[in-house]
Amino acid sequence: MARHYEWKIGEPPPILGAHSVAKHDIFEQYVGIYIERLTRTPSQTMLNLTIVDGFCGGGLYLQGRDEVCGSPLRLLGAVEQADAALNAARTKGFAVRADFFFIDENAQHVAFLRDQLVKRGYGERIGRDIFVQCAPFEEACPNILDHIKKKGSAHRSLFFLDQYGWSDVRLATIRSILATLKNPEILLTFAVDALIDFLSLKTTDTKALLNIELEREDVRALTELRTGDGWRYLIQNGLYRHVQARTGSRFYTPFFIHSVEAHRAYWLLHLSNHRQARDEMGKLHWRLNNRFQHHGGAGFHALGFDPSCDLRQGLLTFMFDDDAMKRSERAVLEQLPRMIHEANRLGSGLGVEALFTENCNDTPVTSEILSRQLVFLRDEGEIVIRGEDGADKPRARTIAWGDRLILPRERSMFSRLGW
């Protein structure tokens, strides 16, 4: 939800903000991508899945004169669309067995959403595979985790946590989700600019700061960054490091949504423990290239987390457009030779999966961008790409995760790898 919207039966729904449109697009499209990624085996006939909308609101908005669906209805529609496509394509049929949890602590919002669900034909499913609950997400979460664990061993689950501010979801709860379930993914809205404005030495003991585990020393260190140009970006990066470290997510995607109405930046944080999930979210940001940005460079290690470097030096607001793509490809091409050379010096080549996994978090680089640059280096004679079977791949246009990057026996005197 991420801003104050109000719903009441009998009254018009609230007007949808432009930044909320961007988030809802991500939510809906990622569900489709997620299901497609997990159903690529032709013989598969079923997928168990749980979708949690922890701050669901009333499910309906006004955009101009038109009524448009909010996240609950869009999530339901995304699953229905994917299920119908799979069922039509598989000779033995297919079933996406999805449970939905729609949680909101405002009773009027819950009543409005129930009314919408009934009007749209979902009434018989409420209490069966659609669960609508009036409660804070923090209170509802333990029972949801129990439900997911009882449903099956894979624990396939998506948590959409579109909180209003930055402290409604405790970082301890995020840790619990990631530690308790085998395959959860979390999309968390985090009002980072609002938190920055809130920070001061006078507010170090508030419950809100305790929810995100900021101690007095943490607040002091962040507020001391309020000097010179670009200080807000420095604090954003400090907070981001803190959130990532305290949630314990192995893979994460930090991109910014800018609210034109409120002149504030929100994070949309994607947290997971799987490399493929991180890659798919990165690809989606490129496809929705006019909605998101990050602050930093274009290649690997792009967010300036080196404490010896000042993020303000060479700071760019990175949009996911054609220029950004060219800069990303150029940056990766400059960085890869040293990384490959170092790995070959220490061992028998560099695995593609290890290369991506160890460097994907702080970057807009996706596996597709990486693959194109590796093929270019191979075609230029700079590297050899060797498959899992030990055979060289001199002409393959795609790169597999199990491939290894090897230095050729002979290299040009002008080689990028020849230092």
User: 182-193 pLDDT, tens per residue?
Assistant: 999 999 999 888
For the residues 336-360, what does the mean pLDDT come to? Answer: 84
Q: Which of 22, 5, 4 lies closest to 291 in space, CA to CA?
A: 22
pLDDT recorded at residue 71 = 97
Answer yes or no: is pLDDT of 316 > 50. Answer: no
* Segment among 31-35, 38-42, 203-207, 265-269 with least mean pLDDT: 203-207
Q: Please give the residue that has the higher pLDDT: either 207 or 68.
A: 68
Q: How many residues does the chain have?
A: 419
* Segment among 29-43, 87-101, 229-243, 352-366 with least mean pLDDT: 229-243
Q: Using the structure block, give the residue that is written with the tokens 């010179």.
A: 228
Beta bridge partners of 255: 268
For the residues 296-303, what does the mean pLDDT come to? Answer: 58
* Segment among 10-19, 217-226, 318-327 with least mean pLDDT: 318-327
* Segment among 186-195, 367-376, 403-412 with least mean pLDDT: 403-412
* Segment among 22-31, 206-215, 327-336 with least mean pLDDT: 327-336
* Segment among 114-123, 124-133, 328-337 with least mean pLDDT: 328-337
CA atoms of 413 and 51, how far apart (whole Å): 55
Answer yes or no: is pLDDT of 252 > 70. Answer: yes
CA atoms of 162 and 327, how far apart (whole Å): 32
pLDDT recorded at residue 258 = 60
* Segment among 12-16, 206-210, 220-224, 344-348 with least mean pLDDT: 344-348
Assign 414 a pLDDT band (cuts: 50, 70, 90). very low
Amino acid symbol at 345: R
* Segment among 96-100, 139-143, 284-288, 397-401 with least mean pLDDT: 284-288
pLDDT recorded at residue 337 = 81
pLDDT recorded at residue 202 = 62
Average pLDDT, the chain: 85
Assign 30 a pLDDT band (cuts: 50, 70, 90). very high
Distances (CA, A) of 65 to 13, 18, 60: 11, 15, 13
Determine the distance from the C-alpha atom of residue 8 to the mean position of all C-alpha atoms in its chain, rounded to a whole number. 31
Assign 2 a pLDDT band (cuts: 50, 70, 90). very low
Q: Please give the residue that has the higher pLDDT: either 367 or 230.
A: 367
Determine the distance from the C-alpha atom of residue 150 to the mean position of all C-alpha atoms in its chain, rounded to a whole number. 26
Q: Model pTM greater than 0.85?
A: yes
Q: Please give the residue that has the higher pLDDT: either 123 or 258.
A: 123
Assign 388 a pLDDT band (cuts: 50, 70, 90). very high
CA atoms of 256 and 302, how far apart (whole Å): 15
Amino acid symbol at 387: G
Answer yes or no: is pLDDT of 315 > 50. Answer: no
Assign 314 a pLDDT band (cuts: 50, 70, 90). very low
Answer yes or no: is pLDDT of 59 > 90. Answer: yes
pLDDT recorded at residue 319 = 61
pLDDT recorded at residue 4 = 75
* CB within 8 Å of 158: residues ≥ 6 apart: 30, 31, 34, 49, 50, 51, 52, 184, 185, 187
For the residues 248-274, what does the mean pLDDT come to? Answer: 77
pLDDT recorded at residue 299 = 64
pLDDT recorded at residue 225 = 82
For the residues 354-364, what does the mean pLDDT come to? Answer: 84
pLDDT recorded at residue 115 = 98
CA atoms of 176 and 247, how far apart (whole Å): 9
